Amino acid sequence: MMSLRLLRCIGCGRRTIFGHSPSSRRFLFSKTGTWEKTLSIETRKELEDYWKEKVTTHHVKQADRFLKEGRQKYYVLVMFPYPSGKLHMGHVRVYTISDTMARYHRLTGKYVIHPMGWDAFGLPAENAAIERGELPAKWTYSNIISMKQQLESLGLALDWDREYATCDPVYYRWTQYIFLKMYEAGLVYQKEGAVNWDPVDQTVLADEQIDENGCSWRSGAKVEKKFLKQWYIKTTAYSKSLIDGLNEVDPDLWRDIIALQRHWIGECNGVRLEFRLQNKGAVVERALSVFTTTPEAMYGASHVLLSKEHYLNTQDLYQDQTASDQQTVIATTLEVIHPFTGRPLPVYITPTRDFGEHLDCHLGIPCCNEEDEVFAREHALSYEQVLDTNQRLINSDKFSGLTRKEAFDAVAAYAKKLGCGGDVTSERARDWLISRQRYWGTPIPMMHCPKHGTMPVPFDQLPVKLPEITKFTGKGTSPLQNAEDWLQVKCPKCEDGGYARRETDTMDTFVDSSWYYLRYLDPHNETKPFSRDAAHTYMPVDLYVGGKEHAIMHLYYARFFSHFLHTEGEVPCKEPFVNLLTQGMVMGQSFKVKATGKYLHRDQVDFSGNAPVEKDTGAALSVQWEKMSKSKYNGVDPQDVLDEFGCDATRLCILSGVAPKSDRLWSPDAFQGVLRWQNRIWSLVHNLLTHRHASDVPRNLTDDEFKLQEELLFDGRNYFLNIVNFHMEKTFLISTAISRLHALTNLLMKTPPDVMRDSDQFERALCDLIIMVSPFAPHFASELWKGVASAPNKLNNYDWAAEVLDQTWPVVDTHFCLPMKVEVDGRACYQVKLPMPIGDIDQLTKSQAVALAEASADYASHLAEKAVNSTTLIVEPGVRVELRYVTEDSKKKKHKKKMRAKGKPREQAQRETA
């Protein structure tokens, strides 16, 4: 195991890498003009210090040039962080991934947008203010400064000129603006209802913020039900649009996400209808929302049933005050008013009816539901038959004569026109509760006038800024209730100069992060959230990188905002994101005492035996990989890793060996392969320079041998480049792309000295390798390029005076002939070079492929004595060709396995197979 330790240099307190003291000696070629034979620790550190500024700022001027030249855009969006003050390894992974993809697309000649900002509102800042007596704004901005410095240490090329924080009034002014646009569109409303209440954080929680045990996702407190007046955004109005939008995205890249989004939204097979309520004939302020899959039969409704858990199930609403909620049916004093006919319908509570997992009320329509018919008959309820024998509507006013499908659409549209629901949605979908009784959030831009009621803040009075307050605790009310001077505001409708009170709830922080990708495109616009031109030029986002844990709520809300803004004509597309790259977590190894469940620090573990045990007691341990956590002592400070291994080695380690979507099991041992690979590339440059400077040495190879080596280099360069291109463009399997660069390095290492010195194919392959390395390890590649560019007697036409960051991504030669892989019974056996260039492989027929495979010298050893059962040709144009053989032997083995799986004896299975 590699022994790499952090030490502090005695006397200066400076951290150094790999346990070495700082040295005044210069090792870097860019400074000395001499290429060291091996990549020393000192050189690693020196080259990163030397290239840091260029690596992190070079793209700025390049972007200006590409923009003026009208280059194709590529928008790489990475989920912006909450400014907690300290990066963790998950941050290192996600931002390294996005930076790598951004650098790759810059090299392909695109104008790349790769911005960064801060998701800065939220409870942690407010809790910190309570605990430390520090204003949330001060705590937040201090953390932003710290985290920005940490991000810069990762060698990221970010568009800092697009930076903003969501807690800045310059940003949340436009969050409020979009909110008011939704209000104008009828998508924002306030209503009383039962809400999830966190008794510790003293705020409302959305359903998704409660865990499976009924506890708050943040405080851990048992969530209570409370009846409050809250603000909602009618996301259900877009349920059908959001479901349909999933048909527009790439099913391969979105596969898991599509399933999550469909499950979250549910099957859009009905509508929600809003019924006015009356109690004993008196109108009740709140309305009752009821989901039904048969709105077309509305004129046949006879009653409404409520579940035992419904918030209206209170004894004071029972007709019989002595009734128990254990009874089969309880009649209430409530009635709902039919929105089309004005007819009152009775409301009952029935603890025994199955309402399903997501509903707590039901609209009884006897002609469509046998249970409803029985209930109506038993309770002597009158109703209309609204369907004839041909399933056309009757007794339904203007809808009579329509088919059920026609009536479904017509009734839904009529309900929307009347303002009583009608949006096609699912039984599980709910409108978005955005009210939060907290201080550190975007103020809801509404006001309440005693004379004119609730109204929006005029657009020209935005932003409604948060006042500075010092008291952040309260008894179930927003801390903003304490800001008396801020609360009182002149009513825009009162001609006598009357006053209104501001809304004191703030918005769910998901509102701020649901449109942030659009503000990046026009971050300094002072008249609108973003210009229509900017949105139509740069949307949609080409690649969105972030954690899979955000693939439900955040993605749902961000998609909703985009669908709404598309309706308003502000954005060109409903779906905001083309490709998704959802990376897995970085996991740390934890050590837990089996008997007690106590977690141990790695220093407390004895590894000398066959299995790790606790040092002090010898107790047996449970060793596992878990999400990094302070409490489990399995976390890693990114700064420690960067100090020890350097930036580029850390980037390569976090990217290599594991697909981005998979969890990364973090271990320092993984650096061994990374460092070894860097050393090998370094030695290739050294060898090139050495042999070029020895140009008077005669060749040892014959012309035929030299030509063969050049052919190998030509094919190898094109073959590996083609695979790297495929994964960087299509699959985003960055780790696989890196592994192919390892393979190309191995090929170059085997090249004879004569070829290194005299071959344009070797020079070309090495240069292209360095260019391809640069998105992953930009400092390292910059120094490598400097070395190669200094070599005498150049044989290719690169822009030798420019840095590697200014080079063009290599392309596959059009006359390259791709090898066809031949598989036998699922095992790759040999390859055959195709006789046509890569651009023509889609014209290859199966008979041609079989003839080529059989003409190979390798055919006999793999297939000569086997009976072929089937042959399949797979051609992915421009990418790969595979010929797959299935033999009788394989068929028999599968049959035996199938028989054994059915429990048949081995002898019987063999007889049946024979």
Q: Can you give the CATH number for the domain in which 519 is found?
A: 3.40.50.620
Asked if 816 and 718 count as a contact pair (C-beta separation under 8 A), the reply is yes
**For residue 79, what are the CA distances in angstroms to 208, 277, 645, 666?**
20, 44, 26, 22
* C-alpha 324 chain-centroid distance: 49
Same domain, 605 and 690: no
Lowest-pLDDT range, 187-201, 274-288, 441-455, 842-856? 187-201
Kindly state whether residues 774 and 665 are assigned to the same domain.
Answer: yes
Q: How far is CA 672 from CA 100, 635, 641, 669, in A?
A: 21, 20, 14, 6
Residue 572 φ/ψ, nearest 5 degrees: -80, -15
**pLDDT band per the 50, 70, 90 thresholds, residue 866:** confident
From residue 880, give the alpha-carbon distance in Å to each of 224, 289, 669, 835.
Answer: 58, 56, 34, 14
Instruction: Summarize the confidence of residues 395-407 as an average pLDDT.
Output: 97
Q: Is 57 helix (H, G, I), strand (E, B) or coil?
A: helix
Q: Are residues 577 and 497 in the same domain?
A: no
Over residues 799-828, the pLDDT tens digits come to: 999 999 999 999 999 999 999 999 999 999
Examine residue 365 and state whether it is found in any structural domain, yes or no. Answer: yes
- pLDDT, tens only, 665-685: 999 899 999 999 999 999 999
Alpha carbons 187 and 880: distance in angstroms, whole number: 50
**Range 59-80 average pLDDT:** 97
**How many alpha carbons lie under 13 Å from residue 341 in its C-beta half-sphere?**
18
Q: Specify whether 735 is located in the same domain as 765.
A: yes
Dihedral angle sign, alpha carbons of residues 607, 609, 610, 615: negative
Per DSSP, the residues of 177-191 read HHHHHHHHTT-EEEE
Q: Which long-range contacts (CB under 8 A, 24 or more apart) does 736-742 make?
A: 736/659, 738/652, 738/655, 738/656, 738/776, 739/656, 741/769, 741/772, 741/773, 742/677
Same domain, 567 and 447: no
- To which residue do tokens 């620090």 refer? 601
For tokens 């709830």, name the residue: 505
CA 843 to chain centre: 38
Predicted local distance difference test score (pLDDT) of residue 896 = 60
Between CA 816 and CA 772 the distance in angstroms is 19
CB 232 within 8 A of CB 190: yes
18 has pLDDT over 60: no
- Domain annotation covers residue 68: no
How would residue 104 be classed by pLDDT, with cut points 50, 70 and 90? very high
Kindly report the CATH number assigned to the domain that includes residue 784: 1.10.730.10
Judged against a pLDDT cut of 70, whether residue 900 lies above it is answered with: no
Q: Which residue has the tokens 């019974």?
A: 825
- pLDDT category of residue 891 using cuts at 50, 70 and 90: low
> Model confidence at 906, in pLDDT bands (50, 70, 90)?
low
CA distance 359 to 355: 6
Residue 899 domain-assigned (yes or no): no
Name the nearest CA neighbour of 651 among 638, 637, 665, 662. Answer: 638
Tens digit of each residue's pLDDT (9 = 90 or more) over 428-483: 999 999 999 889 999 999 999 999 999 999 999 999 999 999 887 655 678 899 89
Predicted structure pTM score:
0.90
pLDDT in the model for residue 428: 94
Q: Which two tokens stand for residue 72?
A: 């194709």
Where are the extended beta strands (E) located within 234-369? Answer: 270-279, 282-292, 303-306, 330-337, 344-349, 361-364
Over residues 192-198, the mean pLDDT reads 80
Q: At what angle do helices 703-726 and 760-773 cross, to 10 degrees?
A: 20
What is the average pLDDT across 721-728? 98
**Residues 791/692, Cβ–Cβ less than 8 Å:** yes
Distance CA 780, CA 512 (A): 38
Using alpha carbons, list the distances in angstroms from residue 900 to 891, 892, 904, 912.
14, 12, 5, 12
Of residues 256, 272, 188, 82, the one with CA closest to residue 560: 188
Does any domain span residue 811? Answer: no
Answer yes or no: is pLDDT of 193 > 90: no
**What CA–CA distance (Å, rounded) separates 873 from 908?**
35
Question: Is 567 domain-assigned?
Answer: yes
Q: Which residue has the tokens 């986002």?
A: 541
Angle of CA points 65, 69, 73, to nearest 5°: 90
List Cβ neighbours of 355 (8 Å cut-off, separation of 6 or more).
305, 307, 361, 362
13-17, 87-91, 128-132: segment of lowest average pLDDT: 13-17
Beta strands in 570-689 (DSSP E): 577-583, 586-593, 599-600, 605-606, 613-614, 621-627, 664-665
Positive or negative torsion for Cα 406, 412, 413, 418 = positive
Residues 294 and 248 in one domain: no
pLDDT tens digits, one per residue of 308-318: 989 899 889 99
- Is position 158 within any domain? yes
The tokens of 390 are what? Answer: 């041909």
Distances (CA, A) of 332 to 8, 180, 323, 338: 76, 38, 10, 17
- Please give, one letter per residue, the 3-state secondary structure of 204-254: EECHHHECCCCEECCCCCECEEEEEEEEEECHHHHHHHHHHHCCCCCCCCC
Mean pLDDT over 488-497 rounds to 91
Q: How far apart are CA 767 and CA 759, in angstroms?
A: 13
Residue that terminates a domain, selected from 406, 425, 444:
425
Counting the structural domains of the chain, the total is 6
Same domain for 739 and 671: yes
CATH number for 823: 3.10.20.590
pLDDT-above-70 percentage for the chain: 94
- The range of the structural domain enclosing residue 882 comes to 819-894
pLDDT band per the 50, 70, 90 thresholds, residue 398: very high
Nearest to 786 by CA among 765, 809, 760, 767: 767
Query: How many C-beta atoms surround the C-beta of residue 568 within 10 A?
Result: 13
Sequence-separated contacts (24+) of 138-143 with Cβ below 8 Å: 140/83, 140/165, 140/167, 140/440, 141/165, 142/85, 143/83, 143/84, 143/85
Specify whether 671 is located in the same domain as 525: no
Q: Are 255 and 291 contained in the same domain?
A: no
Residue 201 confidence (pLDDT):
79
DSSP single-letter state for residue 727: I
536 and 595 assigned to the same domain:
no
Residue with the larger pLDDT of the pair 732 and 128: 732
> Sign of the C-alpha dihedral, residues 91, 41, 721, 873?
negative
309 within domain boundaries: yes
Crossing angle of the two packed helices 553-567 and 255-265, in degrees rounded to 10: 80
Q: Mean pLDDT across the chain, nearest whole number?
A: 91
Same domain, 710 and 726: yes
Domain boundary among 392, 425, 458: 425
Burial class (CB in 10 A: 0-12, 13-18, 19+), 590: buried
Bridge-partner residues for 435, per DSSP? Answer: 507
pLDDT tens per residue, range 198-243: 888 777 776 767 888 899 877 889 998 887 889 999 999 999 999 9
The answer as to whether 60 is a domain residue is: no
> Does the pLDDT value for residue 533 go beyond 70?
yes
In degrees and rounded to multiples of 5, residue 457 shows phi and psi of -70, 135
Identify whether residues 442 and 347 lie together within a single domain: no
Q: Which residue has the higher pLDDT, 352 or 887?
A: 887
| Residue labelled with tokens 């998901």 | 510
**pLDDT-wise least confident of 1-15, 277-291, 634-648, 856-870:** 1-15
Asked if residue 467 lies in contact with residue 439, where contact means CB atoms within 8 angstroms, the answer is no
Boundary-marking domain end, from 778, 806, 834: 806
**pLDDT recorded at residue 9:** 32
Q: Which of 28, 658, 555 is nearest to 259 (CA)?
A: 555
- How are beta strands 586-593 and 621-627 bridged, if at all? antiparallel
